[in-house]
Amino acid sequence: MSIHHIPYQETGYYSKLICDYLEQKDALKSFYGNFPNLENFKEQIEQKQFAEENREVLVKAVRNQYKNIDLHDAVDNALNRLALPNTFTVTTGHQLNLFTGPLYFLYKIVSTINLAKQLSRTYPEQDFVPVYWMATEDHDFEEINYFNFRGKKIKWNRADIQDNDKGAVGELSTEGLSEVYQLICSEFGTTKMGTSLCTLFEEAYLKHDNLTEATRFLANSLFAAYGLIIVDGNDADLKRVFMPYLKQELLEQKAFDTVQKQAEALQKAGYGVQVNAREINLFYLADGLRERIIEKEGSFFVNDTELKFSKEELLLELENHPERFSPNVIMRPLYQEVILPNLAYIGGGGELAYWLELKTFFDEVEVQFPMLMLRNSALLITDKQQQKLEKLDLSIADLFLDQNDLVNRKIRKISNIDIDFSPQKQHLVRQFEALYNIAEETDASFIGAVKAQEVKQLKGLEHLEKRLLKAQKKKLSDHVKRFVAIQNELFPQENLQERTTNFSEFYLEYGDRLLEDLFEALDPLDYRFTILSK
């Protein structure tokens, strides 16, 4: 395996906000706490406060969530360590995408496990366990009901999911996945790796009743040996720990003002806003229902339903059924940080963008803000693809070019004629400098006419250069097709591979070596894009 890195800033796929964050630009420093380098974890550890009675609830609740799974020794050991007062967590989170969804599901978790290992080596007086937070309460089925395999969209169709069904996806039964199972088994083939993948899908989705249990089994099968702890926030006991903040949000609505001001400050600093806070950042959760809670004239309503509560009734509902109150994207990070002894959150660029809106809210409710870490990103290049790149003389840097720029650059390089008119343009500019001098010495009113001629002739050269390049691209069309084909293979739909391709494509080729290589290559504290080739 060969490992290469390039700065995120040079990939063209990361926002100015994320690039500036990684460069620790002054404009962003007020939007986060400690920047995530190894040395700063010392201060983060000292600042993190966590009630031991909450730790006991956490460990008991998570053990209960594993009751339908044979507990791996490494997970059992991690839970035992989590019960100790000197143990901290590092966390990532992800939706319940079908069969993990895109590749970055793996990258998130590998980054988190590797970070826990590095921290344990650096700070031996403390202990660190990796956590995967399942987004079981999300309600957008269309975001998670498919994965891509070799250019095909493998989709889970459910006739019983209606447009107005907005319950938590974790509660969905796995009905209808037997058809997907038949389809993917034919796609995966009968090799050892294909059979292994098919069996994994069957055991996860056909032998578990709902999507939460299926996803837990799947993630556990992949990562239990590394001591990954999987947490489901849709838990009555965990939400009871969070209940003071739920009550505060219902009655005082602190998130709205603080997050709105933070978002405005981000905009003034020249950045976009990822999410907007609502007056109440909680949903009401029930069977087939996850809808916003709205306050009007002292009463509380559940959006698009006939449910209505007085303040007293709502607080009684909260006391008796905290599990019915579901944090939205603004409150979920706070929920996580309240119930976990957490130091850092590892997420993608979009996730970090909305976390950067939350610092003042955390300060307001007096909860330590976690370190925000950009997850590792990678491009996986197979043996055959690497051979193609070498034959085409394509470098790693070439791959990240805009496709038109890539083709133009390579055609210029391999062409038997020089179709780069830069020298001619420079010569023309020098000639017109002399004409400007003549105009100034004779009649300055002619400077405009000279300028017009310069622009006209430069445009003429550019037009001629484009026509010649177009003709040469037609002549070398076979090369053009091969340049385009390999870039499209590595960047499906002109996007990063990790955002579209499922891990199964690479597991079929490399088997268990896939995870082994990722654990070796991905360093969560190395803020560069990783390229792995064979």
Per-position DSSP letters for 230-256, written without gaps between them: EEES--HHHHHHTHHHHHHHHHT-HHH
Exposed e or buried b for every residue in 293-332, given b needs 16+ CB within 10 A?
bebeeeebbbeeeeeebeeeebbebbeeebbbbbbbbbbb
Q: 528 with 464, same domain? A: no
The label of the residue with tokens 């650059």 reads 409
Domain residue limits at 438: 383-495
Q: 417 with 520, same domain? A: no
Task: Give residue 206's pLDDT.
Answer: 97
Is 319 within a domain? no
Closest Cα to residue 520, out of 408, 371, 378, 358? Answer: 378
Is 151 within a domain? yes
| Total domains, the chain | 2
Q: 77 with 116, same domain? A: yes
Q: How many CB atoms lie within 10 A of CB 35?
A: 15
Q: 18 with 135, same domain? A: yes
Pairing of strands 2-7, 528-533: antiparallel
Task: Give residue 444's pLDDT.
Answer: 76
Q: 475 with 527, same domain? A: no
Closest Cα to residue 280, out of 289, 264, 291, 269? Answer: 291
Q: 355 with 477, same domain? A: no
Q: 339 with 393, same domain? A: no
pTM: 0.90
In Å, how far are 303, 330, 412, 425, 431 from 428, measured between CA atoms?
68, 58, 21, 5, 5
Is 45 within a domain? yes
The answer to whether residues 222 and 113 touch, using CB atoms and an 8 Å cutoff, is no
Q: 226 with 88, same domain? A: yes
Each residue's pLDDT expressed in tens, for the chain with a length of 534 residues: 899 999 999 999 999 999 999 999 999 999 999 999 999 999 999 999 999 999 999 999 999 999 999 999 999 999 999 999 999 999 999 999 999 999 999 999 999 999 999 999 999 999 999 999 999 999 899 999 999 999 999 999 886 655 545 799 999 999 889 999 999 999 999 999 999 999 999 999 999 999 999 999 999 999 999 999 999 999 999 999 999 999 999 999 999 999 999 999 999 999 999 999 999 999 999 999 999 999 999 999 999 999 999 999 999 999 999 999 999 999 999 999 999 999 999 999 999 999 999 999 999 999 999 999 999 999 999 999 999 999 999 999 999 999 988 887 877 777 755 566 677 778 778 888 888 888 888 877 878 887 888 788 778 767 766 776 566 666 566 777 898 899 999 999 999 999 999 999 999 999 999 999 999 999 999 999 999 997
Is 301 within a domain? no
Query: For residue 31, how many C-alpha atoms fall within 13 Å in the half-sphere facing its CB?
Result: 30
Roughly what angle, to the nearest 10 degrees, separates helices 447-475 and 403-414? 80
Is 269 within a domain? no
**Token pair for 371:** 């370190």
Please give the span between the terminal C-alpha atoms of the chain, in angstroms, as a whole number. 5
Q: 359 with 406, same domain? A: no
Is 8 within a domain? yes
**Token pair for 119:** 């921290």
Rounded Cα distance between 442 and 509, Å, is 75
The answer to whether residues 367 and 392 touch, using CB atoms and an 8 Å cutoff, is no
Pairing of strands 299-302, 289-296: antiparallel
Q: 16 with 59, same domain? A: yes
Is 175 within a domain? no
Return the SS3 of 23: coil
Q: 29 with 112, same domain? A: yes
Element (H, E) at 58: helix 52-65
Roughly what angle, to the nearest 10 degrees, separates helices 477-490 and 403-414? 140
Exposed/middle/buried for 353, CB within 10 Å: 0-12, 13-18, 19+? buried
Q: How many CB atoms lie within 10 A of CB 271?
A: 22
Is 112 within a domain? yes
Q: 99 with 121, same domain? A: yes
